[in-house]
Amino acid sequence: MQKSPHKRLDFVDGLRAICALWVMLGHAHLFAYGWQSHQSLLTKPLDILLYLELAVVVFLVISGFSLALPIVHNANRLNVSVSAFFVGRARRILPPYYAILSLIMFVNFFVPVAAWGRHSAGLSADIPWQVWLTNYTLMQDFFPQYSTVNGPFWSIAIEWHIYFLLPLLALILARLGGLLFLPVALALAAAIEWFAMHPPQFVQSLNMAILHPSYFVFLFVMGIFAAWMAFGYRKSFGWPEKLGMLVFTAGVGGFLLTQLLQYPINDFTSAMKFADHSRTINLAFAPLAAILLLWLVRGESRVKRFCVSAFESKKLVRIGHFSYSLYLVHIPILAIVNHLIENLRLSSNLTHLHFALLVVIGGGISLSFAYYFSRMFETMKWLELIKAASRRLKKAA
């Protein structure tokens, strides 16, 4: 039985929360341990934090899924005008982004943030104009060499530019239907990927990339298709469909497992090797994330109901509501807390304590700050405050 199109899918917020926490804890791991994996059975589960990039993959799939839901419920057509869609996305994405970017730049004016980072790449007292321009125009996916302000910004840039493809993808879905949408949309994504991999000479001369990493369009498409399969595919899933999805999941899952076993992250060198193959790994992980979303909507087993209940726990859903802000603000906060912990001069055999302090203090502050930050900048409250201040100034004058 499909869920009502009017009911909010709380498990999506729960999944967003898990991804945001995965990224935050992954960065805490990198501050405390670096890229070193664990040998002890007690701490071995922490190795999953080294694969935090997979959480970003899920974020992109969820983004495509969520934005496609109103389209699917509106006969596969945009439920608002194209201009209204972009205004809505801008109001949602840009104010929090520019707020934390400006705050980082302001703090960096007094204390160079690079002094708190895990490596020398970062900000300095003298910031090149290219860094200012790239980050304030949200062009990190075109000039990744200048994406040195805040780690997560690169994925915000690529997602922002992928939004501009949604009206075209919605048109394809409306004209061709869901079953033909997938091959055509994947072909479009492949064409964009080819163009990004074979840029014109003037692009190369500018030391410029195109939608880096351009294969993220595939992830977005998988999310849209999952939304259509969940709510637009009217037939009940019989044994042929279930068997086909099971075989596909097993095949892709098996391939992904072989890749993860072949390129595990154990140290910095292996992490760079993993990065060289991350495109293949991420492209294999994306359809599994899409199938998970589909299963959580249309699955009928007890396991599915248990998973939905777990993802819809009040705490996860609440964090999911401000997961975007948490994604944006956690690294500067972790960097500051890590800087203070390093000043304690803990013994080298107290690395676990370092990590625990970073998670409890840095993670706690990140969650609290992100909650209030989201209340201000993920809503229009910031604009209301500016208007109220403007009215008071006019009265005073």
For residues 119 and 102, what is the distance between their CA atoms, to the nearest angstrom?
Answer: 22
Checking if the pLDDT of 275 tops 50, the result is: yes
- Average pLDDT of span 195-224: 93
For residues 116 and 104, what is the distance between their CA atoms, to the nearest angstrom?
Answer: 12
- Percent pLDDT > 90 in the chain is 73
Any idea where the domains of the chain sit in the sequence? 10-387
Higher pLDDT, 380 or 70: 70
Which of 134, 127, 82, 84 has the alpha carbon at shortest distance from 105? 127
pLDDT in tens, 75-118: 999 989 999 999 999 999 999 999 999 998 888 877 776 555 55
When mean pLDDT is compared across 3-7, 157-161, 314-318, the lowest value belongs to 3-7
pLDDT (0 to 100) of residue 182: 95
| Residue owning tokens 């048109």 | 171
* pLDDT-derived band at 6, boundaries 50, 70, 90: very low
- Tokens representing residue 91 in the block: 């109001």
- Cα end-to-end distance, the chain, whole Å: 62
Q: Is 108 left (phi over 0), alpha (psi -120 to 50) or beta?
A: alpha
| Residue owning tokens 């980082």 | 104
pLDDT in tens, 370-393: 999 999 998 877 777 777 777 887
Contact in structure between 23 and 152 (CB atoms under 8 Å): yes
Q: What is the pTM of this model?
A: 0.91
* pLDDT-derived band at 197, boundaries 50, 70, 90: very high
How many other C-beta atoms can be found within 10 angstroms of the C-beta atom of residue 160? 18
For residues 141 and 158, what is the distance between their CA atoms, to the nearest angstrom?
Answer: 6
Beta strands in the chain (DSSP E): none
* pLDDT-derived band at 252, boundaries 50, 70, 90: very high
